A and B are shown apart, each in its own frame.
Chain A
Amino acid sequence: MKFLAAIGAATLGLLAAVGRVTLYAAQTLGHLVRPPFYFRELAIALLHIGWLSLPVVGLTAVFTGGALALQIYAGGARFNAEAVVPQIVAIGMVRELGPVLVGLMIAARVTSSIAAEIATMKVTEQIDALVTLSTHPMKYLTVPRVLAATLVVPLLVAVGDVIGIAGGWAVATGTLGFNPAAYLKNTMNFLEVRDVVSSLAKGGVFGFIAALMGCYFGMNSGRGAQGVGRATKGSVEAAAILILAANFVLTGVFFSL
């Protein structure tokens, strides 16, 4: 009986958490379309989430693209299919690895940063101070970050896709003996509009999730340093899991239906 009660309590807890996050997301979207708008905070968020994430996104993508080319070449050699390296690198990077890796890197870099910053603001009464200064914390803190991430992560994904393919190209042409021009031609011919659209759409959704989780956990953090730590850890875990789940759903929507 106690076992069933524990399962029931855990289920209710999970449903309550899902409800709170859904409500928070709905409130964020509501504030997104209602003034006042804080354009300066949006610009700062675009800089932090977009521009300053470029090095980590670029490095992740270039190494992944290079490793992917090596793996496909080695795997393809087992059944004389080494020539498909450009096509598989392209489809692998654009459809899956580009958006997912960028999403996870953003979760690691941006979600944690947002959660820690907002949680610290909460612990030090800065959120209360915002309210007393007639400023809605959700409009001032959440909306600019969520909007910026939703707008800029697709661009980061596009950059990641290109750099990942370039990494594969560099390895394939530098060490595996592929013709540079033919590699690029095969890549371009193989990719479809749907591949690129799905990649960018995933980026938008992942950006929204990453920033939303950072803000949600930051705003709902507990007291003290431990509260900030828990909020940061929880935000990254939640963002990573939701990004991977959303990736599965979006892949199904774009490629299986």
Chain B
Amino acid sequence: MITLEDVHKSFGSNHVLRGVDLHVPKGTSMVIIGGSGTGKSITIKAVLGLVTPDRGKITVDGTDITRADRDAFLARFGMLFQGGALFDSLPVWQNVAFRLLRGSLKRPREEARAIAVEKLRRVGLTEDVADRLPAELSGGMQKRVGLARAIAADPEIIFFDEPTTGLDPIMAGVINDLIREIVTEMGATAVTITHDMSSVRAIADNVAMLHEGVIKWTGPVADMDAAGDPYVDQFIHGRATGPIAAVR
């Protein structure tokens, strides 16, 4: 279980997180929704230790993340970044197998490549992609390579940051289905950030609405439409009027 308690984070005078409380049960898929600049990415970066909260506590399976062994802690995670964040200088297969080529999870090069090819196949890419550079791939293919990298070391917890942003609806649907399948198949705990309501419905077990640095509503995806929360209601229907200012 991932738990955030009263997490605050500011950048200068910009108070991004103002007391986030969130519980993600083990083996479930939580989707965090909210407008741009509301702190969704900072929330998952805080869990990973990429940003340090000013206040509050984050635990994973009861262990405070600031006290966990860093390498062992990160080895439990996979992350798909919004832009893919693939390493330009490495071919696709070395991106996917990055963790398997160095560090505590290091495998022989041939074995690492075989795993990378298998993971690429899992996300619908053929072996001929393996030796290409990321710049030679389309946006959708880069997302899938990022997804393959996120699952390469069979992580217990996977974070997806805007997995369908910038993709056409068909490719977005493919990515959504892949995420759902992978999470179900691997039994992983997943946290996804998105604005895309079709992704929410395809991926989520539970949904959390983040606005102005706090969680306004959280509950099962089945309850989202009847949540009765004005923030959730405005967001899921994409209305310009309501408690969320259209101009921020």
Complex alpha-carbon distance, A121 and B104, angstroms = 24
10 smallest beta-carbon distances between A and B, as pairs: A129-B85, A125-B85, A132-B79, A134-B74, A125-B81, A133-B99, A126-B85, A133-B98, A134-B103, A128-B50
Shortest distance from the beta carbon of A99 to any chain B beta carbon, whole Å: 30
Complex alpha-carbon distance, A192 and B62, angstroms = 68
Interface centre among B50, B82, B85, B149 (most CB of A within 10 A): B85
Using a CB–CB distance below 8 Å, which chain A residues touch chain B? 36, 38, 120-121, 124-126, 128-129, 131-135
Using a CB–CB distance below 8 Å, which chain B residues touch chain A? 45, 48-50, 70-71, 74-75, 77-79, 81-83, 85-88, 98-99, 102-105, 149
| Contacting pair A131 B85 (CB below 8 A) | no
> Per a CB cutoff under 8 Å, which of B48, B82, B88, B103 touches A132?
B48
Q: Can you spell out 17 A-B residue pairs with CB atoms less than 8 angstroms apart?
A: A36-B103, A121-B87, A124-B83, A124-B85, A125-B81, A125-B83, A125-B85, A128-B81, A128-B85, A129-B79, A129-B85, A129-B87, A131-B74, A132-B50, A133-B74, A133-B149, A135-B103
Complex alpha-carbon distance, A129 and B83, angstroms = 11
A-side contacts of B102, CB under 8 Å: 36, 38, 135
User: Which residue on chain B has the smallest CB distance to residue A38?
Assistant: B102
User: Which residue on chain A has the smallest CB distance to residue B49?
Assistant: A131
| Contacting pair B77 A132 (CB below 8 A) | yes
Complex alpha-carbon distance, A131 and B47, angstroms = 13
User: Which residue on chain B has the smallest CB distance to residue A123?
Assistant: B83
B-side contacts of A133, CB under 8 Å: 74, 98-99, 149
User: Which residue on chain A has the smallest CB distance to residue B75?
Assistant: A134
Shortest distance from the beta carbon of B159 to any chain A beta carbon, whole Å: 8
User: Which residue on chain B has the smallest CB distance to residue A140?
Assistant: B102
Shortest distance from the beta carbon of A135 to any chain B beta carbon, whole Å: 7
A131 touching B71 in the complex, CB below 8 Å, given contacts A124-B83, A126-B87:
no
